[in-house]
Chains A and B, each alone.
Chain A
Amino acid sequence: MLKLIDIEKSYRISGKKKIILHKLNLEINAGEIIAITGKSGCGKTTLLNIIAGLTSPSKGRVIFEGKRMFYPFDIMPAFIRNRRVGFIFQTFRLLYNETVASNVLLPARIKGIVNRATVLRMEELLARLEIPEYRKSIAGVLSGGQKQRVAIARALINDPSLILADEPTANLDMQTSVEIFKVLEQFARDENKAVLIVTHKDYMLKHADRVYSMKDGVLEDLR
C-alpha cells in the first residue's frame, strides 16, 4: 500500500547540511500495525511528514497505493491526506472551541461531502469509541482520553487506508493508553487499515506486527 524507496531528507542548519533521514526504505501493507521508536530528534516526525506529503523528500520516492507522490501545488498530497490518511497526534490537534461532531466531520467537509451517510459513519465511530453522548459537547471540555478518541474518529471519518499516529498516548495514563491502542488495533484488524505508530510505550511495541527503531535517520528492524 505504501512504499518508501531510498528516502533521504536533509536540512541546511547554519549553512551546514544535516541529514535527517538516510536512504530509508519501508513498505507498509494493509491491516498491519507498525511501530517505530527512537530518541527525540532522530527523524520520526519527519518520516511521518514525508509519508503524509506535508514535506517532500530530498531524494527518493514515495509510492502510495501504486502512485508516485508528486508535490507541485500540494494537490496530490492534500488529496491523499484528506482521503487516504488519518492522523492522530500526541496533542490531539482538535478545534477546542467546536463540538465533537464538528471536529469529526471536518475532514469530510474538506473532502466536499457531508451527507446522511457521513453523519451515520460519524455516529457509528463515536459509538465504537464509546463516546456517543459527547457528540454535541465542546471538544475543549473533554478528558485527554476522550479527546484522543475524538481524534481517532476524525482520523477515520473518510475511511482512510493508513493511520499515522505520532505518540498518540504520550500524554495519557497507562490504562487509557492501552484502551486507545486496543481501539486502533481493532480498527486495523476489522477494517483492514494499516497503522504506523510512533511510540515509546512497551505495550504497543509488544503488540505491533513489526517494530523498528530509528537511529540517526536509519530504520533498524527490531522485530
Chain B
Amino acid sequence: MIARIAEILMAPSDGDIGVILIKLLIIGLALSAVILSATVVAIAFAFSTALVVSLVVYFPKALVFKTPVKFTGLLHSILQNALLMIKEIVSQKFISVIVFFAVIISVFCLSIFRIIGDNFNKYITTQFASAIPPNTIKVSPRPVASIGFLRLRQPPGSKLNNDELSRIVRMEGVKAIHPFMSVQIPMRAVVPIFGLRYNTDLVCIGAPYSIVRDDIKPEYRSAWLNWREGREVPVLIPNFLLETYNNSMAEANNLPKIRPETVMETRFEIHFGRSSVRTIQGFIVEKGVLTGFTDGVNTLAVVVPLGTARHYNGKFGSRGADEEYIYTLVEVDSHENLEPVSKRISDKGFIVETEKSVSKEIISLKQNVNTLINSLSAIIIFLAVVAIAFSTAIATLNRMEYYRVLRILGSSKIFISLTIILKYALLGFIGTQISLWVIESLSQTIAGSIEMAGFTLDISLDKSVASTILLYGTLIPVISTSPALFGLYTKGLSRD
C-alpha cells in the first residue's frame, strides 16, 4: 500500500493545484495514520506494563498490610499506573522527538548501507565472479579446433567423461566432484498460459543434486534424486536467466516480468527429442514442474536433474553423449590443495578456473568496497549509538527531579524504572519499526526505478538482519537510561 502511495506521490503534478492538494491530503493522512498507530501501540504497551506492575505490587502490598484485595481496587491501580506511564511517555516532547528521529535516521542509514553492500556483493557475484564456491575448481574440457566441418585431432583434455572424472576424484586432496551435463538433444517446453499453449525451445543442463539441493523446494528434493522416465521432471531456473529475461526480453517485448513466487510450482510439458527445428522419432513428452531458482548454475539454460540429462542423452543423443560432461566442479579438502590440484588437472589439458583466477582485480575491488562500506557502517553505528545514547541519557537525567518526586510520594523503584524503560523501549521500537517498514515498503518502487542490465536490485533486508536491527534499535535507548536508573537506585533524598 505504501508503495502505491509512493507511486502516486512521485507522479508528476504538472502544476495542477488539485493534484497537489490530493498529494498533501495523502501525506497528511499517512502521517496521521503513523501517529495514530504509534499512539495505539504506546497506550497498549502502557496498559500492559501497568497491568504487570499492578499485579507485581498490588498483591504483596495487600499481603503485607492485610488490606482487602478488591478487583475494582486492582482496576483503579492499573488505570492510574497506565495514566502515569502515558504521562511519562508524552513528557519532554522535544527531546523525545530528537531520540525518535535519531533512531529512525540511524536505522534507515544503516539499513541502506547494508542493502548497498549486499547488492554490490550480489552484483559482483552475478556479473563477474561466476558461481565457483571457495575451495572449488571449475574444470571444463578444452574446445577442439576445427576447420569447417573437419575436426582436427583431439588434444588431451578435450573430453570430460566418466573415465576422466574417476581419475580426478582419485587425485590427492580432492574431496568431491560435481559434474554438469548439457542435454544434447532437441527440446521444447509447452507452457499453458490462460488457456493457450505457449511453445518454446529449450536449452537444458543437468546439475548434480549436491550443488542445487538447497534451491529445490523441499518436497521435490526426493523427486530430483530419484527421477525415472515417466515421472515428473523437477526443473530449476538460474537466477541469472530470470534476471536476463526480466531485464531484456520482457522489457523489449512488453511481456510481464516474472516474479519467482508467482511462477513457483508451475507445471508444463517438456518434449525430449523435439524442437521447432528437429524432431527425433519416438520423442518423449514428460511433465515438468518448476521447483525453484538457483545461483549454483550460472548459465542461460534450464536446469534439470543430472540423471534426466544422462538418460535422454543416452536415449536420443550421439554415442557417448551420456558420459560427457560440459564441466565439473572439483571440491578440494583444504585451501592449500587448491593450487596443486588445479595444476595437476591443468596438466591433463583441461581448462581450470578457481574463484581466485576469475579475476584478482575484481575480488580486490570487492574487498576494498566492502571495507569502505563496513567502515562507513561502523562510523554510522558509532554516531547513532552516541546520538541516541546521549539524547536518552540527557532526557532521563533532566527528568531525575520528577522521578525523585514520584519516589518520595510513594512510587516504587520498580514502577519508576519500568516507566522509564517502557518510554525509551517504545521510542526505539517504533522508530526502528517505522524505518524498516518504510524501507520494505518502498523497496519495489525504488528497485523498479533503477535499471541495470542483467541485474535486479534487491532493496530488502534479510529477516534475521531486520530482527537484529529491531532488537538493537530498541535496546540502545533502553540501555542509555541506565545513568538515570543508577541515580534512582543509589541516591537517597537530598534536601535539594
For the complex, is B73 an interface residue (Cβ under 8 Å from A)? yes
In angstroms, Cα B87 to Cα A95, docked, is 13
For the complex, is A146 an interface residue (Cβ under 8 Å from B)? no
* Given contact pairs A54-B408, A95-B402, a sample of 11 additional A-B residue pairs in the complex whose CB atoms are under 8 Å apart: A46-B492, A75-B412, A79-B61, A81-B410, A82-B411, A87-B408, A90-B495, A94-B405, A110-B80, A112-B80, A113-B76
B405 touches A95 (CB 8 A): yes
For the complex, is A145 an interface residue (Cβ under 8 Å from B)? no
B495 touches A91 (CB 8 A): yes
A112 touches B76 (CB 8 A): yes
For the complex, is A6 an interface residue (Cβ under 8 Å from B)? no
| Chain A residues touching B, range | 35 or more
A78 touches B411 (CB 8 A): yes
In angstroms, Cα B408 to Cα A80, docked, is 10
21 A–B contacts from the bound complex (CB under 8 Å): A45-B493, A48-B493, A49-B493, A54-B407, A67-B64, A73-B413, A74-B413, A75-B57, A78-B412, A81-B407, A81-B408, A82-B411, A87-B408, A87-B409, A90-B495, A93-B404, A110-B410, A112-B54, A112-B58, A113-B73, A167-B495
Question: Within 8 Å CB of B407, what residues of A?
Answer: 54, 78, 81
B residues 47-71 in Cβ contact with A at 8 Å: 54, 57-58, 60-61, 64-65
B57 touches A114 (CB 8 A): no
Q: Which of A74, A89, A93, A113 contacts B80 (CB 8 A)?
A: A113
The interface bits of chain B over 68-91 (1 if a CB of A lies within 8 angstroms of the residue's CB, else 0) are 000001001111110110000000
* CB of A112 to closest CB in B, whole Å: 3
The interface bits of chain A over 143-177 (1 if a CB of B lies within 8 angstroms of the residue's CB, else 0) are 00000000000100010000000110000000000
A79 touches B64 (CB 8 A): yes
In angstroms, Cα B408 to Cα A158, docked, is 13
Q: Given the known A-B contacts A112-B73, A112-B76, A112-B81, are A89 and B409 also in contact in the complex, defined by CB atoms under 8 Å?
A: no
For the complex, is B364 an interface residue (Cβ under 8 Å from A)? no
| B interface residues, tally (CB under 8 Å) | 35
B495 touches A93 (CB 8 A): no
The A interface, classified by DSSP as helix, strand, loop or mixed, is: helix
Question: Within 8 Å CB of A52, what residues of B?
Answer: 408, 493
A91 touches B496 (CB 8 A): yes
CB contacts between A and B, total, < 8 Å = 98
The interface bits of chain B over 386-407 (1 if a CB of A lies within 8 angstroms of the residue's CB, else 0) are 0000000000000001101111
A49 touches B492 (CB 8 A): yes
B492 touches A54 (CB 8 A): yes
B405 touches A166 (CB 8 A): no
B495 touches A73 (CB 8 A): no
B80 touches A54 (CB 8 A): no
Q: Counting chain B CB atoms within 10 Å of each CB, which of A52, A75, A106, A111 scores highest?
A: A75
For the complex, is B494 an interface residue (Cβ under 8 Å from A)? yes
* CB of B63 to closest CB in A, whole Å: 10
Question: Within 8 Å CB of B65, what residues of A?
Answer: 67, 79
B84 touches A109 (CB 8 A): yes
B residues 229-250 in Cβ contact with A at 8 Å: none
For the complex, is A83 an interface residue (Cβ under 8 Å from B)? yes
For the complex, is A107 an interface residue (Cβ under 8 Å from B)? yes
* CB of A79 to closest CB in B, whole Å: 5
